[in-house]
Amino acid sequence: MAANIADYQPTQFLPTSARENNLVQCKSYAPSLPLRPYVASYWHITSRTTLLKTLHHRIMPDGCVDIVFNLAASNPQCAAVVAGPATNHFSTPLTRKVDYLGICFRPGVFFQLFSVPVSELTNRIIPLDDFGDITTRNLADSLQPSDDLDNRIAQIERTLIQYVMRNHHGDQRLACALKAIMESGGSIRIADLARHVHASPRNLLRLFDCFVGLSPKTFCRIVRFQKFFRAIKHDRTQKQLSSALSAGYYDQAHLIHEFQAFAGQSPTRFFAAK
């Protein structure tokens, strides 16, 4: 279990057909030590060849904000987008030449670095250019043409470290709340969480709205879902019910209801297709 937000590792799945036919691969890269409290990972999805058929990549909620660069575009800087935290699953098409590089920011971090209320990004994918003069555009500008992925990530890291040094609009109550949620695996009651951080439920909601873009209850549900999802993904031999109870679900019906909401299928059907 992630006992700290810096240990939280969101998990996704590539389409089965893409993996089985070795059409698309996804690799994850750890951030440098100074950025680990802020960045969960850098991810790179690429196709081996031009795809003749559109693949649909299902994205499940993880509580994170991502900045995504389309490296296959003629101008990756202009093709960059910000993907806010999602409250439901959605599909994104993978077509023709796939080459995406993403920065996955840890929950609660995006506002600290860029002063953009995350509630403005929830369930939205926004072109980076739409941010106008906001300094997130400097990330795109720092992505100079390069055939070397390590160089691209190094360029991004140099820019991010500058933001970390200049901007740190953190909140101790939020940090304590996120830590308590991680320690409980998302199973803490919201009233108990508010008391733990010495905030009223209304102020706690405002805090999460600004920093996380999700209500405390929704974020707890996502953390619990991700905990179960990681456990089953990494060990298919585990029994679903025991894993569900370990993740904090009351019973099998509770698990199925939540999994259906976040993944669009029952866990049995979802993992049978994977």
DSSP category for residue 55 = E
125 and 47 assigned to the same domain: yes
Q: What is the pTM of this model?
A: 0.89
* Separation of alpha carbons 229 and 10, rounded Å: 9
23 and 122 assigned to the same domain: yes
Domain boundary among 146, 166, 186: 166
88 and 146 assigned to the same domain: yes
Domain boundary among 140, 166, 192: 166
Quote the tokens at residue 209.
């709205």
CATH of the domain at 247: 1.10.10.60
147 and 214 assigned to the same domain: no
- Structural domain count, the chain: 2
**Per-residue model confidence as pLDDT tens digits over 58-81:** 899 999 999 999 888 877 666 789
pLDDT per residue rounded down to tens, the chain (274 residues): 456 777 888 887 765 555 546 788 889 999 999 999 999 999 999 887 888 888 888 899 999 999 999 888 877 666 789 999 999 998 888 888 888 999 999 999 999 988 899 999 999 999 888 876 555 667 777 676 666 889 889 989 998 998 888 876 789 999 999 999 999 999 999 999 999 999 999 999 999 999 999 999 999 999 999 988 887 766 555 566 566 667 678 778 888 888 898 988 888 787 776 5
Q: Could you tell me the residue range of the domain that residue 139 belongs to?
A: 5-166
**228, 234, 239, 245 alpha-carbon torsion, rounded to 10°:** -20
